Chain A
Amino acid sequence: MRPGAALAELASLWRVSGRAAAGYGEPRLRAARRARRMRVEGAWTYEEALAEGILDPALPDDVRRRHRSKHAREEIQKRFGPYRLDALTEEKLTFYRYCEALGIPVPALYGTVGDAGTWSAATGRLARGAEAFARLVNDELPPAFVVKPVDGYLGWSVHALERDGGLLREADGRALSPEDLHAELVADPEFGLFLVQERLYNHPALERLRASPTLQSLRMVTLMGRDGVPRLMAAWLKVTLAGGARDNYEGGTSGNGMIEIDPAAGRMRRLVFPREDGVGTVQTTTVPGTGAPLAGEPTPLFDDARRLVLDAAPHFLPIRSLGWDVALTPDGARLIETNNFWGHAGLPMNPELVEALARP
């Protein structure tokens, strides 16, 4: 390691051990030793370990060992298929058209927009400029729709829109014209092409947990057995505690939470969300605000969602390990996306998943 990198590493350890010591009320040296051990044994970055909650001295060792760092997780995931094929899951136009063709329920595709112009899926027409995009919006699109990057991730640059007079209203209430939206899209510093697709809404039962205009999706992790039979290994419901247009947990940095679900029974276990000080997580079995119980509650449309991902998984072979995002809507379960490098931050893996991942 170069001296500069070693110094940065040391500074990170100093910062994180200080925050962990303050957060958990233990001596800094002990917190630093634990963080160092996690770094060496599990390839955790210090900040990642802090947010994950595995520096909590009260956490039993057997639970701590079932958490996986991003690096360790991705190394395992690479062993479950040629990850180079990830465009089938990560390039979303191909993904949605593939799913549509296979009869897998996904949001309807309306077109694309980007530097290269606007394309209408209904007419096949291509056109350039903000006016062309405005024509698509005004003449062809329903009152609500979503615009998101074709190669996006973590919900970045997703626009959930509703028509409001001649304007479009974002999930955060901001109003803008189609031409302004077009200008924002083509100026996006990271993404060059966006999908325009159907906007989905939450199933009414999810409103009981968290009333939110933002779609709160169900994450389901499947592993394909050597026998060609897919199995549901883990599930959690994303909860938009932070507001905004995204439901992603992002290692605890987004402010959102998730409800762990028993993958066999489809019943909720507990809600996990980041502590305000960023030191680990809060875990509760009641809904914040209402106090309604969570533990043991059935997850709406869980069986539909499970059937959907288990039916879809064989179509993505040879990728054998997938993390699916399923929307639970008033019209049933709909697949939003799938990832071969799925995250699992904030929660320990269940023992069955740990064991299955150890034997690719």
Chain B
Amino acid sequence: MEVASQAADELLASLVAGADIATLAVDSGWVLVQAEAATRTGAQANTQLRDQVFLLQGPDEEGPARAVIKLDDGYAVIQLDSVTPGELAEEDALRKQMYSRRISNASASTETLGFLEMLRKQSTIQVYEDRF
């Protein structure tokens, strides 16, 4: 694992220094995977990689964001080229309604949990763990 970590760090350093990731893939022999428009929940062979990509800060004016992330079976040297915000077309009433309901449900769940939490704080609750 340590060897892989070191190799990943070296690749990252090359990337930051301006190397092309496709060339690095050829030179190093490691598998290069890429996505043009990955979504948070889209089908992907490596969902751990996808989830980690969505945790990265987006690129800035200086160019793509680059990072090494740890995966269960090794490391990934990532070059994040772009982040495109989702859009909701004005006429897409159905999706809007769906999202609206989803947010309302989440909000209602949170508020209900908060309400229960408040009730618990105002109450005397004793649980007999030894009889459980």
Chain A bound to chain B: no
Interface residues of A (CB under 8 A from B): none
Interface residues of B (CB under 8 A from A): none
